[in-house]
Amino acid sequence: MFLPKYPDSPTPLSAHTHTPTETAPVKRSLPSVSVDQKTVVALVVGGVVLTALLAAVAVTAISVAVAAVVLRSMLRDHHRR
């Protein structure tokens, strides 16, 4: 039932023949990108600024979390009295 059905007379595979061409393949070089010193400085400054902003956001998030824990503790102690 699940066995594959093979053809009665298999057809021969056609042989692939490759004929060499007389011309050599065209070699293409990658486009050159000229980067001046101002571009490198701008990228480095941009990376430093983005890193500083990420650090500031992380420090702010940690500070808010610590303040929330302290306030929660103070309010819990206040309600117990």
Q: What is the pLDDT of residues 55-66, one digit of tens each?
A: 999 999 999 999
Phi, psi of 4 (to 5 degrees): -70, 150
What predicted TM-score, i.e. pTM, was given to this entire model? Answer: 0.49
Length of the chain: 81
Q: What is the pLDDT of residues 44-58, one digit of tens each?
A: 999 999 999 999 999
Distance separating alpha carbons of residues 7 and 5, to the nearest angstrom: 7
Q: Which residue has the tokens 């309600």?
A: 79
Domain boundaries, the chain: 56-81
